[in-house]
Amino acid sequence: MMLLFEQLLNGLQFGAMLFMLASGLTLIFGIMGVVNLTHGSFYMVGAYCATFAIARTGSFLAGMVAALVGAALYGLVVEFLVIRRLYRRDHLYQVLATFGLILFTNEAVSMLFGRTPPLAVTPAALDGAVTLLPGFEYPVLRLAFIGVGALVALGLWLLVNGTRVGMLVRAGADDREMVDALGVDIRNLYTLVFGLGALLCGLAGVMAAPLLAVEIGMGERVLITTFVCIVIGGVGSVRGALAGAILVGMVDSLGRAYLPQLLGGLFTPTVADPLAAGLASASIYLVMAAVLIVRPLGLFPMKA
Amino acid sequence: MFRNLGVAGLLVAALAGVHPAYAADPVKIGFVTTLSTPAGYIGEDERDGFTLAITQGSGKLGGVPVALVVEDDGLKPANAKQSADRMVQSGIRLYTGVNFSNVLAAVVPSVVDAEHFYVSLNPGPSNFAGANCNRNYFVASYQNDAFHTAGGVAANQLGYKRVVLLAPNYQAGRDALAGFKRTYKGQVLAEIYTKLDQSDFSVELARIRSLAPDAVYQFHPGGAGINFAKQYANAGLSKTIPVVVPGFSMDSRMLAATGAASEGFYTTGIWSVAMDNEASQQFVEAFKKAYGRIPTDYAMQAYDTARWIGSGLKAVNGDLTKADAFRAAMRKAEFTSLRGKFRLNTNQHPIQDLYLMRIERSAGGELAPKVVRKIVSDDKDAYADQCKMPS
């Protein structure tokens, strides 16, 4: 029972991490119509900036600021120099250009910071574990991850539903041309959305740095899973990204946790263990396929 | 994901003071390795370790001038094969450098089919150690199972009765756990296969906690290994359940990235920076001085490979067309290995000692694998019997 509870928290924590990446990606894809493969690179840039700043100053807060500023700035530069020229182009051009940017970013980061993954120290306040229930401890860092994810969800909900910018974002996701025709400078909106997406990646990067290896190519590893989240949730919808991220986080975690036991009852261990691992890897894609059969536009599609 | 970026990095070792007797061109050595991708640091250390040996010989190995031709394979077997084929056509007769077993499988046939020589500085897959052994293929490092079978022996000696095993769900991962189980005598509570690209291990850690084993044996190279160590410590498990890993699952670069999280890990291997012999200490100092970082096992293996090749080149005075004489000299393996004892089995793989190390703080506060004791003497791989080596 306690184990199930812990695995649910693990799923929630993975979901929170995916949500920080997916929310930006879904806005960029839904509103700007841009397939942005560079999204994972912003996450890597955030993690590197954070690690660098923490190593220099010893303060996690400084790392947080560096990650947010670094990732957002890099996002704005990318938007200004590359993405801006591709809005009217076909998706294929966007995929090619942003894929090129992945290679460029990886090489640039390895030239700047070297190939050795740097050490990111866990801040003292987030180190160790807390007792949630008698006899059940959970790492503070992972709880903080869930907390930050919830704050981001709340913040985005307020932004999208309660502000003028949010109104334009929603309108842009529904009908870009109409918003443009009504006299709104859609370019500024695009830049803003892109910067916001990169900023959220930076946040995910700084949170992940103490838990994960900060290394070249760390972004590509989560990119595909992030795309799965937004496809399940419905492209362009923050609510969908949240649902998709939590669903993917839960399915992935619970699959890894319980498939070995389930299959272990049916087959011998030599068959069951690799088979369970294989099925756990495929589980999120099976869920995506199932969702798309029932709701081809995802769970919460923006466009009616 | 990654294309071969730097198409051909050509590095010609400086030829300090060319002797008139060696007016002929230097012996070219083909060095195909992985320099891009996250695993690029491994190829970098291998290249630098090999180059150090050349530099120390003022551009010569065994007194014979050599030139290293380096190409990046981008961890792609097809790229590596292309590079090797090109080098074979250009007349290069001696090869090394490849870091991964799957890449090696593509390169070695190209080289040995042309009756040229390959000396492996890292991977030692079972097929080339057994039925597909070749008289022109040598291994300077170890057969792939060695560290894992040593892991099983280590777990026995440390008195661990119940263990949990973890490895990524691919061939090398399954081989690793099979190797461990071949020598381990206790009870395996669970074999957990992780996803190949997995970065978060919270689920597996929860399962380990609930199984409460005496120890964990896990094989996760590179970034995944760093992730595992950090999260294992973060979950508070490192205080209660000891971890045993093969040496390459916690090399010095990974150690630098995990810091205190990997303190107390047991590792198995053929060498450690703290190894107590003069040649090894000199190598570590020279490497630090030349490149400003601590050498990994990969660098040490590359250095040994270079010295071994030097002993072969010396015997034929750099003339690789004397293939029989070169092969005979290589089989003698007359060089001072940094790991101490080194001799060749009939399948031209090493017979060597294996050690148990523990990651501990040195007097200076730095974390390094400290040798606990020798756990296997004169280890031979299990495949040599299947090798019908022609003379």
B372-381 per-position pLDDT tens digit: 999 999 999 9
Q: What is the residue type of B24?
A: A
Closest CA to B104 of B74, B125, B131, B135: B125
Cβ-based contacts of B197 with chain A (< 8 Å): 221
- Residue B25 to chain A, least CA–CA distance (Å): 34
- For A3, the token pair is 């184990």
- How far apart CA B58 and CA A298 sit, in angstroms, is 66
Contact indicator for A250, A19 with CB cutoff of 8 Å? no
- CB contact (8 A) between residue A269 and residue B192: no
Q: Do B257 and A117 touch (CB under 8 A)?
A: yes
- Whether residue A300 contacts residue A234, with contact meaning beta carbons closer than 8 Å, is answered with yes
Please indicate whether residue B14 or residue B27 has the higher confidence score (pLDDT): B27
- Chain segment B185-224, per-residue pLDDT in tens: 999 999 999 987 788 899 999 999 999 999 999 999 878 8
Cβ-based contacts of A113 with chain B (< 8 Å): none
Partners of A131 in the β-ladder: A137
Confidence check: pLDDT of B4 > 60: no
Contact across the interface for B210 and A3, Cβ inside 8 Å:
yes
At A115, the amino acid letter reads R
Residues 226-255 of chain B with CB under 8 A from chain A are: 226-227, 230-231, 234-236, 253-254
Provide the pLDDT confidence category of residue A303 given band limits of 50, 70 and 90.
Answer: low
Chain B residues whose beta carbon lies within 8 Å of the beta carbon of residue A110: 40
Residues of chain A contacting B255 with CB distance shorter than 8 Å: none
CA distance A20 to chain B (A): 16
- In sequence order, what are the residues at sequence separation of 6 or more whose Cβ sits closer than 8 angstroms to the Cβ of residue A200? A20, A21, A23, A24, A152
Question: Which token pair is B302?
Answer: 């590359």
CA-nearest of B333, B245, B365, B232 to B297 is B245
Q: Is B146-269+353-379 in the same CATH topology as B20-142+277-344?
A: yes
The domain segmentation of chain B, as residue ranges, is 20-142+277-344, 146-269+353-379
Residue A215, SS3 per DSSP: coil
Task: Name the superfamily (CATH) of residues B146-269+353-379.
Answer: Response regulator (3.40.50.2300)
Residue B24's pLDDT band (boundaries 50, 70, 90)?
A: low
Cα(B348)–Cα(B176) distance, integer angstroms: 22
Q: Which residues contact A210 (CB under 8 A, 6 or more apart)?
A: A120, A121, A122, A123, A126, A141, B230, B234
Span A244-291, pLDDT tens digits: 999 999 999 999 999 988 888 888 877 888 888 889 889 999 999 999
Give me the number of domains chain A comprises. Answer: 1
Model confidence pLDDT, tens digit, residues B309-329: 999 999 999 999 999 999 999
Q: What is the mean pLDDT of chain B?
A: 89
Supply the ipTM of this predicted assembly: 0.86
DSSP H helices, chain B, are: 40-56, 77-89, 101-113, 126-129, 146-157, 171-183, 202-211, 222-234, 252-258, 278-291, 297-316, 323-332
A137 touches chain B (CB under 8 A): yes
Neighbours of A28 (CB within 10 A): 26
Task: Give the Cβ contact number of residue A182 at 10 Å.
Answer: 11
B134 has a pLDDT exceeding 70: yes
Inform me whether the C-beta atom of residue A245 falls under 8 Å from chain B C-beta atoms: no
Asked if B349 and B129 count as a contact pair (C-beta separation under 8 A), the reply is: yes
Residue from B181, B193, B291 to probe the interface with A (highest A Cβ count within 10 Å): B193
Confidence at residue A98, expressed as pLDDT on a 0 to 100 scale = 95
For residues B32 and B95, is the Cβ–Cβ distance under 8 A?
yes
Q: Is residue A303 part of a domain?
A: no
pLDDT digits (tens, 9 = 90+) for B146-168: 999 999 999 999 999 999 999 99
Residue B17 clears pLDDT 80, i.e. is over it: no
B187/A contact by beta carbon, under 8 A: no
- Residue of chain B with shortest Cα separation from A4: B206
Residue B352 has pLDDT above 70, yes or no: yes
One-letter amino acid of A8: L
Compare CB distances from B199 to A216, A221, A256 and report the shortest one's residue: A221
In the predicted structure, residue B9 carries a pLDDT above the cut 70? no
> In the block, which residue shows the tokens 């946040």?
A203
Chains A and B form CB pairs within 8 A to the count of 123
Can you give the pTM of this predicted structure? 0.85
Both structure tokens of A161? 């539903």
Q: Do B199 and A218 touch (CB under 8 A)?
A: yes
- Give the mean model confidence (pLDDT) for residues A231-251: 93
Residue B263 above 90 pLDDT?
Answer: yes
Of A139, A220, A253, the CB nearest to B234: A139
A14-32, pLDDT tens digit by residue?
999 999 999 999 989 888 8
The token pair at B351 is 């017979």
Please report the pLDDT score of residue A186 as a whole number.
84
| Residue (of A55, A35, A149) closest to A99 by Cα position | A35
Partners of residue A115 in chain B, C-beta under 8 Å: 38, 40-41, 44
pLDDT surpassing 70 at residue B7: no
Reply yes or no on whether the pLDDT at B123 is more than 70. yes
What was the pLDDT predicted at B307?
96
Q: Which of A1, A5, A6, A48 to mutate to test the interface with B (most CBs of B within 10 A)?
A: A6
Query: Looking at residue B140, what is its pLDDT?
Result: 96
Does position B19 have pLDDT exceeding 50, yes or no? Answer: no
Q: Is pLDDT of A190 > 70?
A: yes
Q: Considering only CB atoms, which chain A residues are within 8 Å of B206?
A: 3, 6-7, 10, 257
- CA dist A166 and A186 (Å) reads 13
| Interval B238-267 mean pLDDT | 91
pLDDT mean over A215-239: 91
Q: What are the chain B neighbours of A128 within 8 Å (beta carbons)?
A: 236
The yes-or-no verdict on residue B388 having pLDDT over 50 is yes
Q: Give CA angle at B248 (B245, B251), nearest 5°.
A: 100
The answer to whether position A67 is within a domain reads yes
Cβ of A139 within 8 Å of Cβ of B235? The answer is yes
Contacts of A12 (CB under 8 A, 6+ apart): A146, A246, A249, A250
Are the Cβ atoms of A121 and B5 closer than 8 angstroms?
A: no
CA distance A226 to chain B (A): 14
Neighbour-count burial for A112-132, b at 16+ CB within 10 Å, e otherwise: ebebbbbbbbbbeebeebeee
Query: How much is the pLDDT for B65?
Result: 95
pLDDT of residue A103 exceeding 70, the answer is yes
The whole-number pLDDT of residue A285 equals 95
Sign of CA dihedral A289, A293, A294, A299: positive
pLDDT at B3: 42
> pLDDT-based confidence at B23, cuts 50/70/90?
very low
Beta carbons of A253 and B207 less than 8 Å apart: no
What's the confidence (pLDDT) of residue B252? 87
* A residues 30-89 closer than 8 Å to B (CB): none
In tens, the pLDDT along A105-143 reads 998 998 898 877 888 888 888 888 888 888 788 999 999
Choose among A120, A137, A163, A154: nearest CA to B261: A120
Token pair for residue B379? 């280890």
Other CB atoms within a 10 A radius of the CB of residue B86 amount to: 16
**Mutant choice from B174, B181, B234, B237 vs A, greatest count of A C-beta within 10 A:** B234
Identify the sign of the CA torsion A214, A218, A219, A223.
negative
Q: Domain range for residue A174?
A: 11-217
In angstroms, the first-to-last Cα distance of chain B is: 43
Q: Do B234 and A10 touch (CB under 8 A)?
A: no
Q: How far apart are CA A61 and CA B146, in angstroms?
A: 45
Cβ neighbours of B196 in A, within 8 Å: 281
Tell me: pLDDT of A295 over 80.
yes
Please name the residue of chain B whose CA is at the shortest distance from the CA of residue A109: B38
**What pLDDT is recorded for position A130?**
86
Which parts of chain A fold into alpha helices (H)?
2-27, 39-57, 60-81, 91-113, 140-162, 164-174, 176-181, 186-208, 218-233, 238-264, 269-294
* B44 neighbourhood in chain A, CB within 8 Å: 115
- Residues 6 or more apart from B61 whose CB is under 8 A from it? B53, B54, B306, B307, B309, B310, B313
Minimum Cα–Cα distance from A253: chain B residue: B203
Contact list in B for residue A274 (CB cut-off 8 A) is 169, 174, 193
A268 CB-near residues (< 8 Å, 6+ apart): none
**pLDDT for the residue A281:** 87
Give the other-Cβ count within 10 Å of A157's Cβ: 14
Q: Is the distance from CB of B53 to CB of B119 less than 8 angstroms? A: no
- Asked if residue A236 is part of any domain, the answer here is no
pLDDT confidence tier of residue A88, bands split at 50, 70 and 90: confident
Bigger pLDDT: A268 or B249?
B249
Contact between B37 and A216 using a beta-carbon 8 Å cutoff: yes
Contact between B223 and B169 under an 8 Å Cβ cutoff? The reply is: no
Tell me the per-residue pLDDT of A139-160, one tens digit each, with 9 for 90 and over: 999 999 999 999 999 999 999 8
Q: Do B2 and A274 touch (CB under 8 A)?
A: no
- Looking up tokens 């957990």, which residue turns up? B192
The predicted pLDDT at position B365 comes to 82
Distance from the Cα of A52 to chain B's closest Cα (Å) equals 13
> Is B20-142+277-344 a CATH 3.60.15.10 domain?
no
The SS3 assignment for A137 reads strand
Chain-chain contact of B206 with A214 (C-beta, under 8 angstroms): no
Give the model's pLDDT for residue B10: 33
Contact B358/A at CB under 8 A: no
Q: Left (φ > 0), alpha (ψ -120 to 50) or beta: where does B17 sit?
A: left
Give domain status of residue A154, yes or no.
yes
What confidence tens digit (pLDDT) does each residue in B227-236 have? 999 999 988 8
CA–CA separation, B122 vs B115, rounded Å?
21
User: Of A206-220, B13-27, B30-44, B90-104, which one has max mean pLDDT?
Assistant: B90-104
Tell me the DSSP string of A15-49. HHHHHHHHHHHHHIIIII----TTHHHHHHHHHHH
Return the higher-pLDDT residue of B389 and B267.
B267
Task: Indicate which of A215, A228, A254 best probes the interface with B, i.e. most B CBs within 10 Å of its own CB.
Answer: A215
